Structure 1
Amino acid sequence: MVATVGAEVWVMVDGWEAAVEAQIRSAQQRGEFDNLPGAGRPIPGRGLPYDESWWIKSFLEREALPTDLLLPTPLQLRRKVEQVPDEVRDLPTEQAVRAFVAVLNAEIIAWLRNPSGPRVVVRPVDADTVVWRWREDRQRVAQERAASASREDVAPSVQVRRRRWLPWRRR
């Protein structure tokens, strides 16, 4: 009796597969598979070893998302702390710099109160140190601009005016 049940199941599966194959053949004859995107190109990743997270990586690439989103919270916070000088460089005032540091420190303290993920040391950022570096960077940039402006004043650029060649003008 088990054999007959198994045979009936195989008959049903064969019938279902035949119906699907018939639909595929009729779609091919109608030309529904012609001019599909990627037709004639090799399958991406074919020949490479299997990667379990291939779909996550392709999603991040397709949506142009940063890979930092996959990091655990403490590593994301460490990355943000490392990027503080670059983030505050273009801020206009000291208050804006302090506000940025305050927001980052609030995130760090919230994580320290309820840590999750790997045990990674993350300390709040010292706002005074960040402001001091921000001031030094602004002074250095201002000095470089002043030096380049004084060099331009000393040696003004000589503009050579060229005559346009026009086909109807005789030489």
Structure 2
Amino acid sequence: MTRRKPPKVSFRWWIDRQIGEARDRGEFDNLPGTGKPLPKPTGNDAATDWVLRQVRAGGHDTKAFLPPALALKREVQDLPARLAGERAERRVREVVEDLNERIRQAYLNHHSGPPLTVAPVDVEEAVEDWRRSRAAS
């Protein structure tokens, strides 16, 4: 555990001293990423960039960070690709109906964030598009 800062000593001096002692002990030697360039900034603050990199490195989806209105809009945009992986029409209908239910719930419960502008997806139209894409492949 770190010792307490002595009285009448500035925090800056105390922190600099702890860093210097750790460096002398070799605690900064061979850290992961040593010698590699820093990643390019994305315009976000450093903490946000770090979190996004960690989430992506872990193979997780960053869509979970979107506000509901934007996440649903993105999901509607990605729906054709999502449905292309389905093998059964029944499953295509289930996916679209689940999305539509979440859209309806978002309109009922929407309180903060950007305005919700996404409309429910026509199930029959989605199924027909899915059939056409399967016939084409």
Instruction: State the TM-score, normalized to the length of structure 2.
Output: 0.72
| Percentage of identical aligned residues | 30
Q: Where in structure 2 are the equivalents of 1:1-171 lying within 5 Å?
A: 12-13=8-9, 17=13, 21=17, 24-25=20-21, 28=24, 30-39=25-34, 41=35, 44=38, 53-64=45-56, 65-116=60-111, 117-141=113-137
2:9 partner SS: helix
Letter of the structure 2 residue corresponding to residue 61 of structure 1: R
> Using the alignment, how far apart are the partners of 2:90 and 2:73 within structure 1?
23
Q: 1:13 to 1:74 in 2, by over 3 A?
A: same
Is residue 85–residue 134 contact of structure 1 (8 Å, CA) maintained in 2? yes
Is residue 60–residue 66 contact of structure 1 (8 Å, CA) maintained in 2? no
Q: 1:26 to 1:136 in 2, by over 3 A?
A: closer
Higher RCO, 1 or 2 (CA under 8 Å, sep at least 6)? 2
Return 5+ residue gaps in structure 1 as ranges. Answer: 1-9, 142-171
Aligned pair count reads 127
Aligned CA-pair RMSD:
3.4
Q: 1:12 to 1:66 in 2, by over 3 A?
A: same
